[in-house]
């Protein structure tokens, strides 16, 4: 993370920093002595810390691959719809958590980002909850709704197309 | 007088937009990072609206086909692995930039781009098979949601690929001149790319496996 240090002058970006190669020093804490400020405790640029992160990313990748295989394996049983939906969404949510928490670093992010995401999750939840709510209300309000709908769907196509 | 004016003009061109690299004291974030998160929040609502539509159509329909009977699950599974792998390569690229190893970072950026390309090739195979059988968004509600959701997701993949190609092409110059800024750009592009991966993680079981 390179947003973690206090502003320093433009000389730091001078062209002496050649692209790549062994001569280029990492964005080390020595180069940014204010690195331990409260800007972002999640990311350090010392080689040891970055290498730890790399190992963490590879472990998360392994977990995601395994969970993908499990998702496909579970689906092969062709479970009843609600069981299949629940299991698939539980596994997908866990995979999503891994990506968001570790690859997107949400496990240790700034408060402002959490504030943005809390609002987003609330409105997203409303959008997902709405259709189910609407459907069940319709059933309660018009008990014959589903029966009539099914009958219409089962009617011969020709009766719909006779006018064409 | 003229000399002063020229000097002032030249100086004006040197003024940089603040907080493109360093964190604002009040937000604790550089602007690019806050910007990408606000953008991703809007993207959640965009894809959320489509998932909401899918739920409404599916729960209201008297019958709804199983995705595994109509769509190519093995190809989609491969695509899932490809996209997950690309998420890893982009964080590795960012990690190596922080270690000061541009060459390795460029290799991982190129691998990310290749994964994106592989994803789109597989998606094209899937689409073309459907089109050959005269199946499209017009066929029924299932295919309408399938094509709209995977199509919009595919456009996001292409958008990410364009940015990765740009980062790769400008890497040497940008890294030499503004190393921190380039590293941050890779980070925010990575955040976008992970979001694209996240959307697919939910699209895959919802459309293909249920």
- pLDDT tens digits along B184-207: 999 999 999 999 999 999 999 999
Residue B5 confidence (pLDDT) above 70: no
Distance CA B142, CA B207 (A): 9
Q: Please report whether residue B88 resides in a domain.
A: yes
Residue A64 touches chain B, beta carbons under 8 Å: yes
Instruction: State the pLDDT confidence band at B4, using cuts at 50, 70 and 90.
Output: low
ipTM (interface predicted TM): 0.87
Nearest beta carbon to residue A19 from set B56, B66, B175: B175
Average pLDDT over residues B119-135: 96
Contact status of A16 with chain B (Cβ, < 8 Å): no
Q: For B9-26, what is each residue's pLDDT tens digit? A: 555 566 777 888 888 888
Residue B125 lies in a domain: yes
> What burial class does residue B83 get, using C-beta atoms within 10 Å of its C-beta: 0-12 exposed, 13-18 middle, 19+ buried?
buried
Are the beta carbons of A3 and B33 separated by less than 8 Å?
Answer: yes
CATH number of the domain at B133, please: 1.20.120.80
The residues, ordered by sequence, that sit 6+ positions from A156 with a Cβ below 8 Å of its Cβ are: none
> Going residue by residue through chain A (164 aa), what tens digit of pLDDT does each one get?
444 443 433 333 333 333 333 444 445 433 343 333 334 444 557 888 888 989 999 999 999 999 999 999 998 898 888 888 889 999 999 999 999 999 999 998 888 889 999 999 999 999 888 777 665 555 565 566 566 666 666 665 444 433 33
Half-sphere exposure of A41 (CA within 13 A, CB side): 5
Predicted local distance difference test score (pLDDT) of residue A33: 34
Say how many domains are in chain B.
Answer: 1
B39: left (phi over 0), alpha (psi -120 to 50) or beta: alpha
Task: Compute the average pLDDT of residues B155-181.
Answer: 95
Query: Is there a contact between A68 and B81 (Cβ–Cβ < 8 Å)?
Result: yes
Question: Confidence band (pLDDT; 50, 70, 90) for B157?
Answer: very high
CA dihedral B91, B95, B97, B100 (to 10 degrees): -160
Q: What is the pLDDT of residues B89-115, one digit of tens each?
A: 999 999 999 999 999 999 999 999 999
pLDDT > 90 in chain B, percent: 77
Kindly state the average pLDDT of the residues B146-170. 97
Its pTM surpasses 0.95:
no
Residues 6+ apart with CB under 8 A from A25: A31, B100
Q: How many CB pairs under 8 A join A and B?
A: 198
- CB A120 within 8 Å of CB B41: yes
Residue B104 in domain: yes
Residue B49 has pLDDT above 70, yes or no: yes
* A3 vs B179: CA distance, rounded Å: 12
Structure confidence at residue B147 (pLDDT): 97
Which pLDDT belongs to residue A3?
Answer: 43
Per the structure, the complete domain to which residue B127 belongs is given by 32-209
Task: Select the residue of A3, A4, A124 nearest B48 (Cβ to Cβ).
Answer: A124
What does the pLDDT read at residue B21?
A: 83
């Amino acid at each position: 993370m390179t947003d973690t240090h206090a502003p320093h002058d433009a000389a730091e970006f001078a062209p002496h920093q050649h692209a790549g190669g062994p001569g280029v020093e990492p964005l080390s804490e020595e180069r940014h002595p204010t690195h331990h400020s409260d800007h972002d405790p999640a990311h350090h640029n010392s080689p040891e810390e970055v290498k730890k992160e790399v190992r963490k990313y590879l472990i998360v990748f392994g977990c995601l691959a395994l969970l993908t295989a499990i998702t496909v394996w579970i689906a092969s049983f062709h479970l009843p719809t609600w069981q299949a939906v629940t299991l698939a969404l539980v596994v997908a949510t866990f995979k999503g958590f891994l990506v968001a928490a570790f690859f997107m670093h949400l496990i240790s992010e700034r408060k402002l980002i959490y504030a943005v995401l809390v609002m987003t999750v609330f409105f997203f939840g409303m959008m997902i909850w709405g259709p189910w709510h609407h459907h069940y209300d319709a059933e309660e309000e018009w008990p014959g709704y589903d029966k009539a709908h099914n009958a219409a769907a089962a009617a011969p196509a020709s009766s719909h197309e006779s006018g064409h | 007088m003229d000399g002063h004016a020229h000097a002032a003009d030249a100086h004006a061109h040197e003024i940089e937009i603040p907080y493109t690299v360093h964190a604002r004291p009040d937000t604790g974030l550089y602007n690019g990072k806050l910007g990408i998160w606000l953008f991703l929040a809007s993207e959640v609502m965009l894809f959320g609206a489509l998932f909401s539509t899918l739920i409404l159509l599916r729960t209201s329909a008297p019958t709804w086909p199983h995705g595994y009977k109509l769509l190519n699950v093995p190809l989609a599974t491969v695509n899932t692995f490809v996209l997950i792998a690309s998420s890893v390569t982009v964080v590795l690229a960012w990690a190596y930039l922080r270690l000061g190893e541009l060459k390795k970072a460029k290799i991982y950026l190129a691998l990310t781009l290749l994964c994106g390309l592989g994803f789109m090739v597989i998606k094209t195979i899937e689409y073309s098979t459907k089109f050959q059988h005269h199946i499209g968004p017009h066929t029924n509600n299932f295919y309408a949601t399938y094509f709209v959701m995977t199509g919009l997701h595919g456009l996001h993949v292409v958008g990410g690929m364009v940015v990765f190609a740009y980062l790769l092409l400008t890497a040497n110059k940008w890294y030499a001149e503004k190393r921190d800024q380039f590293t941050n750009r890779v980070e925010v592009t990575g955040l976008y790319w992970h979001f694209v991966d996240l959307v697919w993680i939910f699209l895959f079981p919802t459309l293909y496996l249920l």
